[in-house]
Amino acid sequence: MDITPVSNALGANVSGVDVRDLNDTDSATLVDAWAQHGVLFFRDQDLTPDEHLAFARRFGGVDVNRFFTPVDGHPEIAQVLKEPDQEHNIGGGWHTDHSYDPAPARGSILYAREIPPIGGDTLFAGMGAAYDALSKPIQELLRGLRAVHSSAHVFGAQAKHAEATAGRIGNPDAVRGDVTHPIVVAHPHTERPLLYVNPAFTTSIDGLTVAESRALLTFLFEHGRRPEFQIRFQWGQGSLAMWDNRSTWHFALNDYHGHRRHLHRITVAGDELAGAA
């Protein structure tokens, strides 16, 4: 198995491996590589839903998403689908999955079944590199703060795109109360400090005025998506990407209208997040 980094900020390609066929040493290597690189990419994997689940379970329990329509017969797998006649895609803005939960999902493992001939890439951004690039005074300020994360405006009954994603995203009654997390969390495996706010689900900063909160979040959202913290993954059928939801953001591009794009996602359960020291 070869693990080759794709940028200084995040990401690595993993080759020479069939993920159906891992021993415990391979699994341990992947656990470390996942924590270190934030997102791992595999190509040309041939997985049934059950094999996808077996791979995911090597990294923890499954955290079933409450809003995504599941794959038929596989309630633990979320369907990530855009049909040729649909306009809106899923995940078409910078976000990290499940930050609105008290114990956010550790990561997501997305497997490509059908990919448009061109387009439909996914962008990823590294929140360890984003944190490192902040000045010391701002790092210090952020380390003392917690931010509020919410799912209501994205998945609730009044959500802006509820109609456009009907049939794919639903269950608005599963929206729960807002939660807070430290703005700078320690990666549970590496202890690396990570900037843990995201444009989709982070709505305010605890204890600040509305104006202060808006200004600081606007800055952090701009900062987090600077090009040097980003990579871009071009999918093929059989590609598999596994990202760490604590240390990365992602953004599914919606530039393939008229074509079908179909993936299966399994979300791996995580723990409550502690602030960086």
Tell the smallest beta-carbon distance from residue 97 to Fe ion (Å). 4
Sign of CA dihedral 95, 136, 138, 182: positive
Each residue 23-62 as x (binds ligand AKG by CB under 6 A) or -, in order, gives: ----------------------------------------
Question: Which residues, numbered 47-106, are part of the site for Fe ion (CB under 5 A)?
Answer: 91, 97
How far apart CA 79 and CA 214 sit, in angstroms, is 33
Sign of CA dihedral 135, 138, 140, 142: negative
Question: Which residues, numbered 62-81, are part of the site for ligand AKG (CB under 6 A)?
Answer: 80
Instruction: Sort 53 into a burial class: Cβ within 10 Å, 0-12 / 13-18 / 19+.
Output: middle
Q: Is 97 a catalytic residue?
A: yes
Each residue 162-201 as x (binds Fe ion by CB under 5 A) or -, in order, gives: ----------------------------------------
User: CB under 8 Å to 184, separation ≥6 — which residues?
Assistant: 131, 139, 142, 143, 193, 194, 195, 196, 275, 276
Q: Which stretch binds ligand AKG (CB under 6 A): 90-98, 143-151, 175-183, 197-205?
A: 90-98
Q: Is 95 a catalytic residue?
A: yes
Tell the smallest beta-carbon distance from residue 142 to ligand AKG (Å). 25
Question: Which residues, numbered 244-263, are part of the site for ligand AKG (CB under 6 A)?
Answer: 250, 252, 263
Closest residue to Fe ion, based on beta-carbon distance: 91
Q: Which does 265 bind (CB under 5 to 8 A by kind): ligand AKG, Fe ion, none?
A: ligand AKG
Q: Per the structure block, which two tokens stand in for 184? A: 């700078």
CB-hemisphere CA count at 13 Å for 97? Answer: 28
Q: Is 181 a catalytic residue?
A: no
How far apart CA 239 and CA 229 sit, in angstroms, is 22
Q: Is 35 helix (H, G, I), strand (E, B) or coil?
A: helix
Q: Is 265 a catalytic residue?
A: yes
Q: Which does 263 bind (CB under 5 to 8 A by kind): ligand AKG, Fe ion, none?
A: ligand AKG
How far apart CA 257 and CA 270 sit, in angstroms, is 34
Running DSSP on this structure, what letter comes out for residue 106? S
91 lines the binding site for ligand AKG (CB under 6 A): yes
How many residues contact ligand AKG, by CB under 6 A? 11
Q: Please give the positions annotated as active site.
A: 95, 97, 250, 265
| Chain residues that interact with ligand AKG, rule: CB under 6 A | 80, 90-91, 97, 108, 110, 122, 250, 252, 263, 265
